């Protein structure tokens, strides 16, 4: 099981890692006489050039990128952050670790935040909207940006699963005030583990850098001023940077392969009875790493999933709020453990199963097929890969057709 980037690892990444090892350069900084920029530094600058982001900061995970983004934008205790009920648990965990309050909102047929529901959940305590580009396709950033601007809120993009994606010509991660990307094994590009953070504002970047590296100014050019919070150590090391740099330089080939494979898979599948495909806000900007099928009933969706040896999206691990016991506490938590759900909190906010009926319905009727990310935990354990041959694509499509036709005929 892996993501597309892993399948594209090759001599380019090896050469960059060997270059770092030849000089025993293991840290992102260059101390002493060396004038050659580090792999991590080069990665950040090339990612800025590719995306048009004002600033890029490499960190050790996308979770760290989200935590750093929230810190840099001043999100903290008592602030509310609107987040979809369909996302990896890390999106919510980052909010909680800032002492802020996650406000769960519905998704729509895009499988991303419903702008209409976001508007309903804004209160005087709301500080930010966290849009998650789930399964490699962009959220409705145009509408979410409009809502954020209208209400004076920050817009943060969780692009963990959508590195290289775009929205109406703009790179994901640059429409919002901050964007977070993952480089783990299941993502578009990988360094094993790691993350990237994009920021639009100079001051936010300085705060982010200080937070990720013990209060230092960018590139350790002095100590940050008194506005800086106590920093942590969330740095990316040089060997991860070398692998990520090699991957970034081939991301266009990766995305082109995914688009070609998804087109072939769709052509082979044809029209399926009782099946609706996911609505994509920008077909030219999606990463094409998944193919989502939505059925008319939960029974049909579960029947097809069982035939294929997969699961519906509502059963896809810690990507659905109802599968997050940390959130749905079965005992009364203390404020130190769960300040966001403690009855003593002034919001009195609670989290319960089935609190997002539209999200529950959409996920219970949907399955996702792999095009590039083979991950049973995410619900994409069956389908094709970037390396699948035309014959393998045809065979995978026939398996899906057979499962759908048999289950629909029985119903």
The end-to-end CA distance of the chain, in Å, is: 33
Q: In order of start, what are the domains of the chain with their CATH numbers? A: 4-251 (3.40.640.10), 252-410 (3.90.1150.10)
Element (H, E) at 102: strand 101-105
Of 14, 127, 187, 260, the active-site residue reads: 187
CB environment 384-400: b (16+ within 10 A), e (fewer): bbbebeeeebbebbebb
pLDDT of 27-68, one tens digit each? Answer: 888 766 566 889 999 999 999 999 999 999 999 999 999 999
Give the separation between CA 356 and CA 372, rounded to whole angstroms.
Answer: 29
User: Structure pTM?
Assistant: 0.94
Nearest to 12 by CA among 259, 189, 206: 189
Annotated active-site residue 411? The verdict is: no
- Asked if 199 contacts 69 with a C-beta cutoff of 8 angstroms, the reply is yes
Query: Two tokens at 184?
Result: 């783990």
Task: Give the Cα separation of 330 and 352 in Å (integer).
Answer: 10
- The neighbouring-strand residues paired with 110 are none
The first and second tokens of residue 50, run together, are 């590719």
B/e letters for 69-97, b = 16+ CB within 10 Å, e = fewer, are bbbbbbbeeebbbbbbbbbbbbbbbbbbe
What are the CA-CA distances from residue 383 to residues 50, 68, 225, 396 (Å)? 30, 35, 52, 6
Q: What pLDDT digit, counting tens, does each position of 220-253 carry?
A: 766 666 566 789 999 999 999 999 999 999 999 9
**CA–CA–CA angle 289, 291, 294 (5° rounding):** 150
In a 13 Å sphere around the CA of 318, the CA atoms on its Cβ side amount to 11
Pair type for strands 170-171 and 166-167: antiparallel
3-state secondary structure of 65: helix
Model pLDDT, residue 343:
47
Q: Which helix (H) or strand (E) covers residue 367, if one does?
A: strand 366-370
Burial 120-139 (b: 16+ CB within 10 A, else e): eebeeebbbbbbbbbbbbbb
Nearest-angstrom CA–CA distance, 146 and 140:
10
Half-sphere exposure of 78 (CA within 13 A, CB side): 3
Query: Could you report the average pLDDT of every consecutive run of 10 residues in the chain (411 residues)?
Result: 94 96 88 77 97 98 98 94 97 93 96 98 97 98 98 98 98 98 97 97 94 85 67 96 98 98 98 95 98 97 97 93 83 49 54 94 98 95 97 98 91 69
């Amino acid at each position: 099981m892996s993501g597309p980037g892993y399948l594209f690892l090759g001599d380019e990444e090896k050469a960059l890692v060997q270059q770092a090892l030849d000089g025993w350069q293991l840290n992102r900084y260059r101390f002493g006489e060396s004038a050659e920029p580090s792999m991590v530094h080069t990665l950040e600058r090339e990612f800025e050039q590719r995306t048009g982001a004002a600033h890029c900061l490499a960190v050790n995970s996308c979770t760290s990128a989200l935590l750093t983004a929230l810190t840099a934008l001043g999100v903290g205790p008592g602030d509310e952050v609107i987040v979809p009920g369909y996302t990896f648990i890390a999106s919510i965990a980052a909010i909680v670790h800032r002492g802020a309050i996650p406000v769960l909102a519905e998704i729509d047929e895009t499988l991303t935040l419903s702008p209409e529901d976001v508007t309903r959940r804004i209160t005087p305590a709301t500080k930010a909207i966290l849009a998650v580009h789930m399964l490699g396709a962009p959220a409705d950033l145009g509408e979410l940006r409009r809502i954020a601007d209208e209400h004076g809120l920050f817009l943060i993009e969780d692009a963990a699963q959508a590195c290289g994606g775009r929205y109406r010509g703009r790179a994901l991660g640059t429409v919002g005030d901050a964007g977070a990307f993952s480089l783990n094994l299941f993502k578009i590009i990988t360094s094993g583990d790691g993350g990237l953070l994009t920021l639009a504002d100079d001051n936010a970047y300085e705060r982010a850098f200080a937070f990720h590296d013990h209060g230092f100014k960018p590139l350790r050019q002095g100590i940050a001023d008194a506005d800086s919070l106590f920093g942590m150590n969330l740095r990316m090391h040089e060997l991860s940077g070398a692998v990520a740099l090699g991957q970034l330089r081939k991301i266009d080939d990766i995305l082109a392969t995914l688009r070609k494979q998804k087109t072939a898979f769709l052509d082979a599948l044809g029209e399926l009875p009782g099946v609706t495909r996911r609505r994509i806000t920008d077909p030219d900007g999606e990463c094409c790493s998944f193919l989502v099928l939505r059925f008319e009933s939960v029974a049909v969706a579960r029947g097809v999933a069982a035939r294929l040896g997969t699961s519906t999206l509502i059963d896809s691990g810690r990507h659905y709020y109802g599968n997050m016991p940390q959130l749905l506490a079965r005992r009364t938590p203390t404020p130190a453990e769960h300040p966001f759900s403690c009855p003593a909190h002034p919001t009195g906010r609670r989290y319960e199963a089935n609190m997002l009926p539209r999200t529950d319905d959409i996920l219970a009727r949907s399955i996702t097929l792999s095009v590039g990310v083979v991950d049973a935990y995410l619900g994409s354990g069956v389908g094709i890969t970037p390396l699948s041959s035309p014959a393998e694509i045809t065979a995978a499509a026939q398996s899906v057709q057979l499962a759908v036709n048999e289950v629909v005929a029985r119903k």
